[in-house]
Amino acid sequence: MTTTELDGGAERGPLPPRALIVTVLGLYVREFGGWISVSALIRLMAAAGVDEQAVRSALSRLKRRGIVEAERRGGAAGYALSEYARQLLEVGDRRIFAEREAHTRDWVVVVFSVPESERQKRHALRARLSWLGFGTVSSGVWIAPGRLADDAREVLLGDGLDPYVDLFRAEYLAFGDPATKIARWWDLEALEQLYTDFLEAHEPARRHWEAQHRVPPGGEAFSDYVRALTSWRRLPYLDPGLPTDLLPASWSGTTAAQTFFALHRMLAGPAHDFVTAQAGAARPG
């Protein structure tokens, strides 16, 4: 699925059309052969409260960023996902839709050294590791839960950053309180605020749909689901699944995950049917 790498990051506040469109591209457009007509996307985004001008403007920005490529099919103007976007979406699928568990205390450690003459590579490494969800132990030593080892290997190889990096699997042995260390390596206060924001924005939708005794109407399901997923999809990167017993007792990440996956179970099916009816029929060929 989708990652914040594709839409330039997700800020607090109202969800920008750019981010909502990236969610739709990641959720549905790959199923349609990686292409969607402009007219179909405009119809879909109208159901999410995004007007035509905002859709066209967002598509132009995504094109400039190399996320989509303008392409006509069957005489219809549209956009195809770039190969770069497809690769990131595949990595995102594994992270975003993984149910949260209390992970064991095994770690993957990245140690890197970059010559001063190639300091731009140092910046790229730090940006990539941060995007993957690694915490900072020191300037050249970063750490994450062990289950991220494969993602780290794949992404660093793909970016050509592997010559500067050594990867290790590790167990913390001494000398300190691991919970205190985690609070230094990750910004838990900022994460807690993001989880609180998510719950304030989407818990009402969860309560609403759980109180209904009917299949959610397609357009409403699509709007609520796309908005929830757009808010959620950055969080599994910022919080890479830290051991729950090392997190604060008041940690709201678990409740936020429960809310997202409840909405996913209730709304994903009706939303998919709505998209197929609105856009699937418009596929050329």
Show me where the domains of the chain are located.
4-87, 107-171, 187-272
Of 8-17, 92-101, 133-142, 214-223, give the lowest mean pLDDT range.
Answer: 8-17
Q: Rounded mean pLDDT of 209-227?
A: 93
- Two domains, one topology: 4-87 and 107-171: no
pLDDT in tens, 93-122: 777 887 766 566 889 999 999 988 888 999
Q: Where are the alpha helices (DSSP H) in the chain?
A: 4-7, 17-28, 38-47, 52-64, 83-96, 119-132, 149-158, 178-185, 188-211, 218-232, 235-238, 253-278
List residues bridging with 3 in a β-sheet: none
Please tell me the pTM assigned to this model: 0.85
Three-class HEC string of 106-163 = CEEEEEECCCHHHHHHHHHHHHHHHHHCCEEEECCEEEEEHHHHHHHHHHHHHCCCHH
> CA angle, corner 151, sides to 147 and 154, nearest 5?
145
CATH topology of domain 4-87: Arc Repressor Mutant, subunit A (1.10.10)
Tell me, what's the pLDDT at 6?
A: 61
Tell me, what's the pLDDT at 238?
A: 87
How far apart CA 234 and CA 157 sit, in angstroms, is 22
Structure tokens belonging to residue 177 = 């309180």
CATH topology of domain 107-171: Alpha-Beta Plaits (3.30.70)
CB atoms within 10 A of CB 190: 10
Classify residue 97 by its DSSP letter.
T
Query: What is the overall mean pLDDT for the chain?
Result: 88
